[in-house]
Amino acid sequence: MEDKRKSQRFGCIGERTLVLMLKDRLLGIIKDFSRGGISFSSMEKITENTRLNFELELSGLNRRVPLEFEIIWKRPYLDQFIYGARFTNISSEDKFDVLDSLYRDWRKTLSADTLLR
């Protein structure tokens, strides 16, 4: 399958769980991220091309960040779905804060040997 990504993807493996909240309900767990969007797992059935307003809860920011995504693709996985979504509405400041926080967590998962390659 052809990789159509415009930006590098970074996995979310680390010290904290990255949670997507829809109102006060857990929508999903972020799997990875890039400058253009995220992929996440969820028990919810969401159709492609759906736009959703989320609050992204990152403990490192100590606040919920409001943003909007459009679902680009979905795949079944065990008893849930994996979704790919692109950012459609997020302020430049919030996008910087979110991506910076996620990137810092991603860097913590790397070993010194990996960084020297």
- Per domain, the residue ranges of the chain are 11-106
Percent of the chain at pLDDT > 90 equals 20
Q: Which residues pair with 76 in a beta bridge?
A: 81
What is the Cα–Cα distance from 51 to 61, expressed in whole angstroms? 24
Q: What is the model's pLDDT at position 69?
A: 87
What are the percentages of helix, strand and coil residues in the chain, rounded to 5? 20, 45, 35
Class of domain 11-106: mainly beta
Model confidence over 54-66: pLDDT tens digits?
A: 777 776 777 788 8
Of the candidates 43, 36, 53, 41, the one whose C-alpha atom is nearest the C-alpha of residue 95 is 36
| Alpha-carbon torsion angle 7, 8, 12, 18, nearest 10 | -10
Output the average pLDDT for the chain: 78
What is the Cα–Cα distance from 29 to 45, expressed in whole angstroms? 14
Question: Does 48 have pLDDT greater than 70?
Answer: yes
